[in-house]
Amino acid sequence: MLAIAVVIAGFARTFYLKAVFDPSPMTVLVAAHGVVMSGWFLLFFAQARLVAGGRVATHRKLGAFGALLAVAVLVLGTATAITAGHLGRVPPGAPPPPIFLVVPLGDMFVFACLVGAGLWLRKRSDWHKRLMLLSCVGMLTAAISRIPIEAWRQAGLVPYFLATCALVLACIAWDTLRNRRLHPAFVIGGLLVVLSWPLRLMLSGTDAWMRFAQRLIA
């Protein structure tokens, strides 16, 4: 529920309530991306409730749809990021498009790794549920960066990264205290999310990345 609340808070003005704050039309790509991403978070919530209610068979049936939805998240997320870079659109306080592109594309890479591993390990429920949770929480940076608090919106990338990592670590801490052990899925998945941020920052400063990003958004 917290992840959904963060998504709504971040994208209320630019997506969910856009007609109220900005009557200009939304592109088909952005609309599709927003619907698919919202669907992913809602599906995760529904799947968690199904398991909690003992409706495992229904959970498994929805899993096939979830795999297709994950592919749609990757395709539309990547396309939207590249298109935004081409148009020069970045969140407040973010660096220029070629540098910032490492953020959404990094999100897609981490998401693909977590969801791919989660689906591969779907018969090991303890691993599956934790990896799928991290796939949601690890993508919250985009929503966090758009929360409409002016001082926060101008804070820059590092605080956004730290906030995302804090949410990831909070999930891990809660699960560890609840189960009295640190699950290896959270060790591996958590490290992937957290360490991806400094690696992205280092990568974005290289000439190789700049050449690659500039070709993508040209």
At 44-95, the pLDDT tens digits run: 889 888 888 888 888 888 888 989 999 999 999 999 999 988 888 887 667 7
What band does 159 get if pLDDT is binned at 50, 70 and 90? confident
CB 47 within 8 A of CB 66: yes
Q: CA 197 to CA 202: how far, in whole Å? A: 9
Q: CA 73 to CA 28: how far, in whole Å? A: 15
Query: In the prediction, which pLDDT does 153 show?
Result: 67
The torsion defined by the Cα of 56, 61, 64 and 65, in degrees rounded to 10, comes to: -110
Average pLDDT (105-126) is: 94
Selection from 121, 118, 147 nearest residue 134 by Cα: 118
Query: In the prediction, which pLDDT does 136 show?
Result: 92
Residue 177: CB atoms within 10 A of its CB come to 10
Selection from 28, 217, 187 nearest residue 104 by Cα: 217
One-letter amino acid at 32 equals: A
Residue percentage of the chain with pLDDT more than 70? 96
